[in-house]
Chain A
Amino acid sequence: MKKLLLFSILLSACLAGSAFAAQHEKEITAGFIYVGPVGDAGWTYAHDQGRLEMEKLPFVKPSTYIESVPEGAESARVINGLVRKGANLIFTTSFGYMDATIDVARRNKDVVFMHCSGFKTAENVGTYFGRMYEPRYLSGIVAGKMTKKNVIGYVAAFPIPEVIRGINAFTLGARSVNPQAEVKVVWTQTWFDPGIERDAADSLLDVGADVLAMHQDAPATLQAAEARGAYVIGYNSDMRSFAPNAFLTAPVWNWGALYTRLATEVSTGTWKSTQIWDGMKEGLVELAPFNAKVPAEVQTLVTGKAAAIKAGTFHPFTGPIKDQAGNEVVAPGQVPTDGDLLSMNYFVSGVQGTIPK
C-alpha cells in the first residue's frame, strides 16, 4: 500500500514536472529560530514537528534550526547567521523576534521571512498565527460538561491578549453548556518553569477545581491533575502520555499544514507578504482526539460545534458577551473584529481572577 502510494506520488510528480516545466520550481532551504528547546514538549516542539512535516516535500532541502534564542535585538545576529548559511525561507517563531526579523529582512530582499504572532510586515516579511481561541472554546465545552464542582482552574503564563483571549474563549465554551461553571485563573508570569507551573496547578486544585486547563509550555499541569485524580485539558501538542487518566483533550497547533503551504508558495513563486491568521478551517489549530472518558454525547456536541466553526456559521465570540463587571462588551448577534480580538484586555463574566495592569 505504501509502495503503491509512493509510486503514484512519483508518477504524478513526473507528470506535474513535465506539465509545469516552464514554471521554475525553486529549492527551499529553510531556517527556524526557536524561543525554547525542541525538547520542551510544548510550543517549540510543536513548531519542530511542523518543520519535519514540511521537509517531506521533495523540493525542501534539510533545514537548519537554532534553539533557545533569546528574544530581542540580539536575535538579529542569529537570523543573519541563517541567511549567510543560505536559507531562503526563514521562520522566526516568537513574538519578541519581530523587530530583528524586519531589520534583517530589509537587507536581504531575496529571502522570505515569516514571523510568528507579530504585527509588522514588509515586502518580504509575512506574519502568521492561529485562531487558537476556536479549539479553546471547544475544550471549554468539554471542561464545562466534565466538572462536577463547577470550579475549573486555568494556569496562565502572562496577561497578554493572546492568553486572555484563550481564557475568555474557554470560559464562554464552558458556560455555554454549564452556566454555573467558574474559571479561576492563576498567573505564573513565566512561559516555562515546570516547578512553578506544577505549584500553580496544585494551588487551583487546593481551592476545589476538578478540571484544569493551561496556557504554558511545559506539561506540569497535566501531572498535577493526574496525581490528584482531576481532569485536565492540555495545550500546544497532544500531551496525553503525561496524564493518561486525567487528560480529556487539548487545543493543539498543527504548524505542518501551514509550513508545507508556505514552502510550496515560495518554491513556485506565488508567495506574497500577508498576515496569516488561520483557524480550524485551514487546519492550523485543532482539538486533539478525545480521551475515551469524554462521554459520547459530549464528543458529538463538540464535533458539531467544530464543524460549525469550520463552515464559518459559528464564531465563539458571538454576542451578547458581558465582562466581569456585567457590562456588555459585545452586542447580541455581533462578532468582534479581528482587531478587537487581537487587543483583548478584559475578562468575560465567569472568569475569577484579575488582569494585572
Chain B
Amino acid sequence: MVEILLDATVRAGTPILFATLGAIINERAGIINLGIEGLMLIGALAGFAGTFVSGSLLIGVLAAFAAAFIAGSIHALITVQLRGNQIVSGLALTMLGIGITALFGKTMVGRTIEGFERIAIPLLSELPVVGRAFFNQDLLIYFSFLLVFKVWFFFYRTRWGLAVRTLGENPAAADTCGVPVNLYKFLAVTVGSGFVGIGGAYLSLATTPMWIENMSAGRGWIAVALVIFAGWSSPRALFGAYLFGGITAMQLRFQAMGTTVSAHILQMLPYVFTIVVLVISTLRLQKGASQQPESLGLPYDREDRK
C-alpha cells in the first residue's frame, strides 16, 4: 500500500516539480513569473503536438521546452529589457497561454499518442517501499531527479550560479563585478520557462497522453506558491511538490479503500498543510533566515543605481 501511495505521489508531483524548479530559476535572478500556468499549457500543447507530428516523445519534450522558452522570452523582454511591471507581465503571459493554446490546440483535441512508459532500473527497482516509486518510472521523472540536483549544483557550486543568485540579491554588485546583468537575467527567465514547459508536457505526454484545453487546471498557481514554500531551494521544491501530489493521491486512495472519513475533510488536507508550512516558514523567517532574493520583483537599471 505504501509503495502504491509513494508511486502515485511521485507521478502527481512531477509536473508541479518541473514548474516549481523553473519558477525558482526565474526568481533566483530576481524576476517574479506569474505566467507559470500559461507556460505549462504552452508546454503541454507543444509537447503533445510535437510528439503527435513526429512520433517521437523526445521531440515532443524538446518542442515543449522550446515553445515555453520562446513564450518566456516575451516576459524576459518586458521585465528585463524594458523594465516593465513583472506582476502584470506574468499575468498577461498566463492569459496569453490559455488563449493561444485553446486557439491552436483545436486540431489536437481527441487525438491520441503513445505516452511515456515506465522503465524499471535493474536491482534498484526491486528495493522494498521506495523501489517502485523512484526506480520504476518514466524517463521524464528520472530527468526531474537529475534536474533537482542540477539546479542545486548550478546555484551553489558554480560561478555562473553565484552570479545569477547575486542578480536576485543585489544586481548592482553583480554589475560592478562585470556580470552581464541583462543577459543572465534574460537567460534565467527563458531557461526557467522552458523547464516549466516540460512540466506541462508531463501532463500531456505521461499523466494523460492527450491534449485538452486548460488541462493544467491550476497546477501552475500551486507552483508559484511552492516557490515560497520551498524557500527558493530546489531540494525543498522536490519535497513540496511531492507533498502536494501525495496528499491528493492519498485522499483519492482513502476513498477507494472505503474510509468513512468525509471526502470534504480529505480534500482540505493540502490546504491545511499549506497553512502549517507557511506558519513554520514564517517562524523561521522571524529568526532572521529570510531566503527571499533581496531584489525580487525590482527592475534593475544601471543609471538608477543607489
**Cβ–Cβ contact B255 & A187, under 8 A:** yes
Give residues of chain A (173-222) contacting chain B, Cβ–Cβ below 8 Å: 184-190, 192-200, 202-204, 206-207, 218-220
Interface membership of B123, Cβ < 8 A: no
Contact of A194 among B111, B112, B217 (CB under 8 A): B217
Q: A187-B263, A199-B252 in contact; A37/B213 too (CB < 8 A)?
A: yes
Most buried by B among A189, A203, A204, A223: A203
Chain A residues lying within 8 Å of B219, measured Cβ to Cβ, are: 195
Contact of A203 among B209, B256, B263 (CB under 8 A): B256
**Cβ–Cβ contact A353 & B109, under 8 A:** no
Chain A residues lying within 8 Å of B112, measured Cβ to Cβ, are: 241-242
Can you name 16 extra interface pairs (CB under 8 A) apart from A37-B102, A352-B258?
Answer: A36-B213, A37-B212, A38-B213, A39-B102, A45-B109, A67-B102, A186-B252, A193-B217, A194-B212, A194-B215, A196-B252, A200-B256, A218-B208, A218-B212, A242-B110, A356-B264
Q: A193-B217, A194-B203 in contact; A40/B256 too (CB < 8 A)?
A: no
Bound-complex Cα distance A159 to B15 (A): 28
Bound-complex Cα distance A219 to B112 (A): 11
Bound-complex Cα distance A199 to B105 (A): 24
Q: A194-B203, A194-B208 in contact; A354/B260 too (CB < 8 A)?
A: yes
Interface membership of A41, Cβ < 8 A: yes
Contact with A along B212-238 (1 / 0, CB 8 A): 111101110000000000000000000
Bound-complex Cα distance A153 to B4 (A): 17
Interface membership of A107, Cβ < 8 A: no
Chain A residues lying within 8 Å of B110, measured Cβ to Cβ, are: 41, 241-242
Q: A195-B203, A223-B210 in contact; A39/B106 too (CB < 8 A)?
A: yes
Majority secondary structure, B binding face: helix
Bound-complex Cα distance A45 to B212 (A): 11
Contact of B263 among A67, A194, A354 (CB under 8 A): A354
Chain B residues lying within 8 Å of A207, measured Cβ to Cβ, are: 253, 256-257
What are 6 pairs between A and B in contact, CB < 8 Å? A39-B106, A39-B212, A41-B210, A186-B256, A207-B256, A242-B210
Contact of A188 among B8, B211, B252 (CB under 8 A): B252
**Cβ–Cβ contact B253 & A203, under 8 A:** yes
**Cβ–Cβ contact B109 & A204, under 8 A:** no
Chain B residues lying within 8 Å of A203, measured Cβ to Cβ, are: 8, 249, 252-253, 255-256
Interface membership of A357, Cβ < 8 A: yes
Interface membership of B34, Cβ < 8 A: no
Chain A residues lying within 8 Å of B212, measured Cβ to Cβ, are: 37, 39-41, 194, 218-219
Interchain nearest-CB distance for A229 vs B (Å): 14
Residue of B nearest to A200 (CB): B252
Q: A39-B109, A241-B110 in contact; A198/B264 too (CB < 8 A)?
A: no
Interface membership of A108, Cβ < 8 A: no
Contact with B along A7-46 (1 / 0, CB 8 A): 0000000000000000000000000000011111100010
Residue of A nearest to B102 (CB): A37
Contact of A190 among B217, B255, B258 (CB under 8 A): B217
Bound-complex Cα distance A353 to B257 (A): 9
Interchain nearest-CB distance for B259 vs A (Å): 9
Chain B residues lying within 8 Å of A219, measured Cβ to Cβ, are: 210, 212
Chain B residues lying within 8 Å of A356, measured Cβ to Cβ, are: 262-264
Interface membership of A68, Cβ < 8 A: yes
Interchain nearest-CB distance for B97 vs A (Å): 14
Give residues of chain B (145-173) contacting chain A, Cβ–Cβ below 8 Å: none
Contact with B along A322-357 (1 / 0, CB 8 A): 000000000000000000000000000000111011
Interface set of A (CB-CB < 8 Å, partner B): 36-41, 45, 67-68, 153, 159, 184-190, 192-200, 202-204, 206-207, 218-220, 223, 241-242, 352-354, 356-357
Interface set of B (CB-CB < 8 Å, partner A): 4, 8, 11-12, 15, 102, 105-106, 109-112, 203, 207-215, 217-219, 248-249, 252-253, 255-258, 260, 262-264, 267
Bound-complex Cα distance A220 to B206 (A): 12
Chain B residues lying within 8 Å of A37, measured Cβ to Cβ, are: 102, 212-214
Bound-complex Cα distance A153 to B255 (A): 11
Chain A residues lying within 8 Å of B209, measured Cβ to Cβ, are: 223
Interchain nearest-CB distance for A223 vs B (Å): 5
Bound-complex Cα distance A187 to B8 (A): 17
Bound-complex Cα distance A195 to B202 (A): 10
**Top 6 closest pairs, chain A to chain B, by CB:** A37-B213, A193-B217, A39-B213, A203-B256, A39-B109, A194-B208
Bound-complex Cα distance A213 to B109 (A): 21
**Cβ–Cβ contact A206 & B4, under 8 A:** yes
Chain B residues lying within 8 Å of A354, measured Cβ to Cβ, are: 260, 262-263
Bound-complex Cα distance A162 to B24 (A): 43
**Cβ–Cβ contact B15 & A195, under 8 A:** yes
Chain A residues lying within 8 Å of B264, measured Cβ to Cβ, are: 189, 356
Residue of B nearest to A190 (CB): B217
Bound-complex Cα distance A219 to B209 (A): 10
Residue of A nearest to B256 (CB): A203
Bound-complex Cα distance A38 to B257 (A): 35
Bound-complex Cα distance A352 to B210 (A): 30
Interchain nearest-CB distance for A235 vs B (Å): 15
Bound-complex Cα distance A200 to B8 (A): 10
Chain A residues lying within 8 Å of B105, measured Cβ to Cβ, are: 39
Q: A184-B256, A242-B112, A354-B262 in contact; A199/B210 too (CB < 8 A)?
A: no
Chain A residues lying within 8 Å of B217, measured Cβ to Cβ, are: 190, 192-196
Interchain nearest-CB distance for B222 vs A (Å): 11
Interchain nearest-CB distance for B210 vs A (Å): 6
Bound-complex Cα distance A231 to B261 (A): 29
Interchain nearest-CB distance for A242 vs B (Å): 6
Residue of A nearest to B259 (CB): A354
Interchain nearest-CB distance for A243 vs B (Å): 9
Bound-complex Cα distance A66 to B212 (A): 17
Chain A residues lying within 8 Å of B4, measured Cβ to Cβ, are: 206
Bound-complex Cα distance A52 to B58 (A): 38
